[in-house]
Amino acid sequence: MTRQLITSALPYINGIKHLGNMAGSMLPADVCARYLRQRGHEVLYICATDEHGTPAELAAQEAGLPVAEFCARAHERQKEVYEGFGLSFDHFGRSSSPQNHGITQEIARQLHANGFVEERAVRQVYSVADGRFLPDRYIVGTCPHCGYERARGDQCENCTRVLDPTDLLRPRSAISGSADLEVRTTRHLFLLQSALTGEVERWIDDRAGSWPVLASSIARKWLAEGLQDRSITRDLEWGVPVPADTWPALAAEGKVFYVWFDAPIEYIGATEEWADAAPPGEVRDWTSWWYEADDTVRYTQFMAKDNVPFHTVMFPATLLGSHRPWKKVDRVKAFNWLTYYGGKFSTSRKLGVFTDAALELLPADHWRWFLMAHAPESDDSSFTWELFGAVVNKDLADTFGNLVNRVLSFSHRRFGDTVPAGGTPGEAERRLGERAAELLAGYESALEALEFRKAVRALRALWSAGNSYLDAEAPWQQVRTDPEGAALTLRTAMNVIHLCAVVSEPFVPAACRTVRDCFAAPEGSAARTRRWIGPEEARSLDLLPAGTGFTVPPVLFAKVTDEQLAGWTARFGGGAGDGRP
C-alpha cells in the first residue's frame, strides 16, 4: 500500500467559511482520505488556517483585538465547525506557527542563494497619518466603474473589477480613514518566476497529463501568458518576518513575507506541527512525507479553481527554485464554484449559507451528502433550498434511511432481536449479489479517479438495489406463507445494510457508524473488523451471519419539511437572483 499525503486549500482565518468553501476543497479531501484509510493505505490529511495578510489585520482591528489573539480565537472556532462536519484531519494547523515561520524563512534563503530572489525598489502608497506604507487592501475609496464607496485598492467587491490603488476615487486609509496619502519609494523582495519558467514547464509537462482538465488548463494558461516576477514581501505587522541574517535592512524595516508565499508552505509546516504534537512514546517523521520522500508517497491537493495557479505554478516554482528535494504534488483535484441561486457565496457580505449555521439546522451528514452529490466538478453547480430538500428527502430519507429502518424494525417485530436464520439463497439473492458487486466496482473506480459525483451515483444505486430487492420479495407478505423465505429476505437485506454502512462511510460517516453499531457482531468477526468490503466479498452478501444480535436505530434521516424550507429561505434568502452580486 502507498502512503497518501492529502492537503486541502487552507481556509482563510477571516470568518467562518460558507458551503462553497466546504464543497470546493475540505469535504472532498475528507471523503478521499476516509476512503483511502478504509482501503488500508497510510494516510496523512493536513490542513490549517491561513492567518497572515491584510484581511486578518483589518478583521482584528474591527474586532478590537490584537491580531494574534484574533487569529487564535478564529482558529479554534473554525476547528470546532470542521469537527462538527466530521472532517478527519490528521492535523489542523496554523500558518502563524513557529514551524511555518522557520520553513518559510529557510526556503526563502535557499531561493536567494540560488539567485531566484531579488530586491527591487517599488512605488507604493504611504499614509502620513498612519506612518506606514499601505498594502492594496489597506486603501479604500470609490470604485470608478460602479461608484461603490468601500472598494478596496485591489478589487471592488460590488462589481468585482480588479483595481489598482491609483484607480480609486477619493482614496483613504482603511486604518485611520485619513486621505493624507502619498506615493513613495520602498523596497521589496521579488521571486524571479521568469527565470524558473523552464523548470516549471518541464515539471507540469511531466504531471499535468494526469490532472483533471480544469487544473491542467489553468496551469497551462498561466504558462502561456508568461510567468511574471512577483513581489513576495509586504509592509505588515503580522506575518513571517524577513530573516535578518539574509536581508538585514528589510528586516529592520519590518517587512514580512506575502501571504501567498508562506501559506502553501504551511502544508509542510503543519506536517511538522503534527510531528511535534506526537503523544509520548510515538515518533513521527514529517520529513519522510515532504523532504526526500520516497516513491511510496503520493501527494494529492484539493482546491477551488481560483487557487489552482498558486498551487500548480507559484508554489511549485518556489519549491523547484530551492533546489532541495521537497515533495511536490502528484494529483491536483480542482473544483468549480458552488453558487447560491446562481450567484457567489460571499464571506465578507454574509451571502449564502455558512458552515456554522448549516450545523445548527441539520446534522453534518445531510450537508456532506448534498455537497458531494452536487460537487462542482465539471462546471459550476447551484445551491437552492428546493434542490437541497429534494435531495435529502429522496436519497437519505427515502432510500438509505428507509432501507435501514423498515428492514430492522420489521425483522425485530417478527423474528426478534437477532438476524434471522432459515432459507437458502436463490436466484434473487444471486442477482442482487451480482448487482452489488457491479456497483461497488464502479464506486471504487470513481473514488480512485476522484470523480465524486460518479461515486455518489453508484452508491445511491446500491442503496436503491437493496430497496428494489426488498420490494420484489416483500417479506411482509412472505412471512404469512413462507416464514423461512421471509427470514432469508431479511437476512440478505441486513447484509446489504451492513455493506452499505461500510462503503458509504466516506460520505455519511455518522449515519454509517450508527448502523454498524446496531449489529452486535462477535469480536474478531469479519462483520465487525472489516474496514472495506470489495466487489467479490460483496457478491455473497453473507458477512453478517444468522444469530447476530441487533437493535433498531432511531430514524436515520428525518425528512426536511416544507415549513423548514420556507423558514430557511426566509432567513438566508432564496429565489432567482438572490445570490447575485
**CATH no. for residue 43?**
3.40.50.620
Domain for residue 248, yes or no? Answer: no
Are both 455 and 540 inside the same structural domain?
yes
Q: Is 143 annotated as a binding residue?
A: yes
* Separation CA 499–CA 516 (nearest Å): 9
Are both 276 and 423 inside the same structural domain?
no
Domain for residue 491, yes or no? Answer: yes
- Radius of gyration from C-alpha coordinates of the chain: 27
As beta bridge partners, residue 241 has: 256
Domain for residue 374, yes or no? Answer: no
Are both 407 and 472 inside the same structural domain?
yes
Q: Is 146 annotated as a binding residue?
A: yes
Are both 68 and 152 inside the same structural domain?
no
pTM higher than 0.85: yes
Q: What local confidence, expressed as pLDDT, does residue 545 receive?
A: 93
Domain extent, residue 122, equals 117-191
Domain for residue 282, yes or no? Answer: yes
Q: Is 32 annotated as a binding residue?
A: no
Find the DSSP H helices in 277-379. Answer: 287-290, 308-309, 315-322, 355-361, 364-373
* Separation CA 74–CA 322 (nearest Å): 33
- Among 313, 335, 357, residue at a domain's last position: 335
In terms of Cα–Cα distance, which of 66, 52, 62, 45 is closest to 13? 52
Cell numbers linked to 77:
472556532
Number of domains in the chain: 3
As beta bridge partners, residue 298 has: 4
Pairing of strands 169-173, 139-142: antiparallel
Per DSSP (E only), the strands in 155-260 are 169-173, 181-191, 230-231, 233-234, 256-257
Are both 525 and 404 inside the same structural domain?
yes
Q: What local confidence, expressed as pLDDT, does residue 581 receive?
A: 37
Q: What local confidence, expressed as pLDDT, does residue 348 receive?
A: 58
What pLDDT tens digit does each residue of the chain (581 aa) get?
Answer: 789 999 999 999 998 999 999 999 999 999 999 999 999 999 999 999 999 998 899 899 889 999 999 999 999 999 999 999 999 999 999 999 999 999 999 999 999 999 999 999 998 899 999 888 888 888 999 999 999 998 988 888 788 677 888 789 999 998 889 999 999 999 999 999 999 999 999 999 998 888 989 999 999 998 999 999 999 999 998 999 999 999 999 999 999 999 999 999 999 999 999 999 999 999 999 999 999 888 899 999 999 998 999 999 999 999 999 999 999 999 999 999 999 998 887 655 667 899 999 999 999 999 999 999 999 999 999 999 999 999 999 999 999 999 999 999 999 999 999 999 988 999 999 999 999 999 999 999 999 999 999 999 999 999 999 999 999 999 999 999 999 999 999 999 999 999 999 999 999 999 999 999 999 998 888 888 889 999 999 999 999 999 999 999 999 999 999 999 999 999 887 754 454 33
* Separation CA 193–CA 198 (nearest Å): 10
Are both 133 and 264 inside the same structural domain?
no
DSSP-derived 3-state class of residue 379: coil
Please provide residue 242's backbone torsions phi and psi, each rounded to the nearest 5 degrees.
-65, 130
Are both 452 and 530 inside the same structural domain?
yes
Q: What local confidence, expressed as pLDDT, does residue 133 receive?
A: 87
- Among 300, 335, 370, residue at a domain's last position: 335
Domain for residue 31, yes or no? Answer: yes
Q: Is 399 annotated as a binding residue?
A: no
Are both 387 and 520 inside the same structural domain?
yes
DSSP 397-434: IIIIIHHHHHHHHHHHHHH-SB--------HHHHHHHH
Domain for residue 249, yes or no? Answer: no
Are both 109 and 138 inside the same structural domain?
no
Are both 178 and 283 inside the same structural domain?
no
Domain for residue 538, yes or no? Answer: yes
Are both 126 and 73 inside the same structural domain?
no
Q: 301: part of which helix (H) or strand (E)?
A: strand 297-304
Domain for residue 236, yes or no? Answer: no
Q: What is the CATH number of the domain that holds 135?
A: 2.170.220.10
Q: What is the CATH number of the domain that holds 403?
A: 1.10.730.10
Q: What local confidence, expressed as pLDDT, does residue 492 receive?
A: 98
Are both 183 and 289 inside the same structural domain?
no
Q: Is 500 annotated as a binding residue?
A: no
